[in-house]
Amino acid sequence: MEYITQLCQIAVAISVYFVWIFRYHNVITEFKQFGLSDLTRNAVGASKISLSALLIVGIWHSSLVLIPAIGMGLFMIGAQVFHFKVGNPFIKHLPSLILLLLSAFITYSAFA
């Protein structure tokens, strides 16, 4: 179970890095569509990248996993809310939904 949890931590972290570094133009478009400011976008990005780093470090220091997993899950719930708010099709909801489920699994594993 620990190995699967660690794979989930890596998957969430790499996904967040990929989106916020290599697909940043999509992030800009989505935040404009959601009606959110540049300051909000940058704060969310910095927070997600920091939480991702803690998930990676949590592979070696398991006490660091719970808070970033919960935080990432909350960001993904927020993403779902905004996708619903603007009426995006389900395919646009899917990435954040998958990361939400992975974050929930990581959180559950941290309690177990």
Mean pLDDT value across the chain: 97
What confidence score (pLDDT) does residue 13 get?
A: 98
What confidence score (pLDDT) does residue 19 get?
A: 97
pLDDT at 41 over 90: yes
- Summarize the confidence of residues 61-83 as an average pLDDT: 97
DSSP the chain: -HHHHHHHHHHHHHHHHIIIIISHHHHHHHHHHHT--HHHHHHHHHHHHHHHHHHHHTTT-GGGSHHHHHHHHHHHHHHHHHHHHTT--HHHHHHHHHHHHHHHHHHHHHH-
Q: Where are the domains of the chain?
A: 2-111
Helix axes 2-17, 66-85, angle to 10 degrees: 50
Model confidence at 111, pLDDT cuts 50, 70, 90, reads confident
What confidence score (pLDDT) does residue 1 get?
A: 85
CA distance 48 to 72: 7
* Tokens (6 digits) for 101: 């489920």
- Summarize the confidence of residues 88-94 as an average pLDDT: 96
What confidence score (pLDDT) does residue 48 get?
A: 98
- Summarize the confidence of residues 92-99 as an average pLDDT: 97
pTM: 0.94
**Backbone φ and ψ of 106, nearest 5°:** -65, -40
CA distance 51 to 74: 11
